[in-house]
Amino acid sequence: MIPFNKPYLTSKELIYIKQAVEEHGHISGNGVFTKKCQSFFEQSWGFKKCLLTTSCTDALEMCALLLNIEPGDEVIMPSFTFVSTAIAFIRQGAVVRFVDSRTDHPGMNEHMIEELITPKTKAIVVVHYAGVACDMDTIMDIAVRYNVKVVEDAAQAIDSYYINSKGKKQALGSIGHLGCFSFHETKNIQCGEGGMLCINDEQYIQRSEVLWEKGTNRAEFFRGEIHKYGWVDIGSSFLPSEINAAFLWAQLENLEAIQSKRKLIWEHYSEALSQTFSLPFIPQYATNNAHMYYVLCSTLEERTDFIAKMKKQGVHPVFHYQSLHVSEFYKHKHDGRLLPHADRYTDCLVRLPLFYEIDENKVIEAVLNCY
């Protein structure tokens, strides 16, 4: 049987957890391994300030708090995304304006954003679906012109880039005012449940540390900048345990090996299935971090049939994302616009298993048996 996903130990995860307990004597948040991970991210991809979180959802919630989202504020985001993109902002009272997907890609249609901007718009949340960049120059230009903030939901986009028309290459998550990553077990780099907030606009750095540590100025205290710490703001316990950070650090040490292997698997899928399905589209301005290999069926019926046939062969592909604008929770709050491409990807997209230790030959064989 080939499951959809399988977590793995690169080598040192358990050693580092033991070290956190026995050598550092510290397994709550913000210890040695948290700092190692955060520095690594800052140095490798140019994020101004990184804070690990317990999930990408929590990182998105920090964005909603940092941007002072209040009841009635509007936030623009794709409909074809994980529910966390929306709930983080809705928890603060935001009204979400959903954007359709592109024709050629499940990511949001950048050219449908501007028409949704109103005086109440506070933020655009872009989602780099499958780790494939949105057209960030187009989006940042809109943001500048209308003075709204941009949050990159880069949950799937670690080690992926946007290359603008002048050839400048920027890591996803480093372009918007704020960026969010996930280290959920299905991600390239993982620690079970986990996430990270990247603060690229320096005005948010100081407050982000306060929100992270339950509304206290503990971070400043530990840096010796103040002589006593206390309660100064709202916040939550956004920081993860050192147990998770230690696990993540072991994965990061193996980043190159993980990424090389995933890219090989992705290329193998791409070559073997090019006669059966059209290849996942990657725009010129985007790179491929091999987070996901998806195929598109023509109809919901075909997809249902395909998944069933795959399962019969012991292979477990999955579909995902139900357009949020037609969900039970939001359908009566949505403004009524049709978002046909989001609905099409909802019905037709299938993700093939893709994990570090996979034997993708068996998946390919199973797919070819179906067609």
Task: List residues binding a second copy (CB under 8 A).
Answer: 3, 5-9, 13-14, 17-18, 20-22, 25-29, 54-58, 61, 82-84, 86-88, 90-91, 184-186, 190-194, 214-216, 230-237, 239-244, 247, 322, 324, 327-330
**DSSP string for 260-278:** HHHHHHHHHHHHHHTTTSP
Q: How far apart, in whole angstroms, are the C-alpha atoms of residue 305 and residue 299?
A: 10
* Count of C-beta atoms within a 10 Å radius of residue 25: 8
The residues near 327 (Cβ < 8 Å, ≥ 6 apart) are 83
Q: How far is the CB of 368 from a second copy (least distance, A)?
A: 26
In the complex, the smallest distance separating the C-beta of residue 229 from a second copy, rounded to whole angstroms, is 9
Cα 240 from Cα 34, distance rounded (Å): 8
Helix (H) or strand (E) holding 219: helix 218-222
What burial class does residue 99 get, using C-beta atoms within 10 Å of its C-beta: 0-12 exposed, 13-18 middle, 19+ buried?
A: buried
Q: How many other CB atoms are found less than 10 A from the CB of residue 218?
A: 18
Cβ distance to a second copy smaller for residue 157 or 191 = 191
The Cα–Cα gap between 246 and 33 comes to 5
Q: Record the tokens describing residue 258, joined without a space.
A: 């993980």
Our CB check for a second copy shows the closer of 14 and 308 to be 14
* Closer residue to a second copy in complex, CB, 94/142: 94
In angstroms, give the least distance from the CB of 212 to a second copy.
11
Report the nearest approach of a second copy to the CB of residue 105 (Å).
23
Least spacing, CB of residue 95 vs a second copy, in Å: 13
Q: Residue 249: CA atoms inside 13 Å, Cβ hemisphere, count? A: 23
Measured from the CB atom, the residue of 136 and 198 that comes closer to a second copy is: 198
- Shortest CB 15 distance to a second copy, Å: 9
Instruction: Give, in order, the Cα–Cα distances in Å from 361 to each of 268, 358, 365.
Output: 9, 9, 6
| Least distance to a second copy, CB of residue 329, Å | 5
In sign, the C-alpha dihedral spanning 335, 336, 341, 344 is positive
Residues found in the chain:
371
Residue 238, C-beta contacts closer than 8 angstroms, at least 6 positions apart: 51, 53, 54, 58, 59, 61, 62, 197, 211, 212
At closest approach, how far in Å is the CB of 270 from a second copy? 26
How far CA 300 is from CA of 296, 303, 341, 346, 349, in Å, comes to: 10, 5, 13, 9, 9
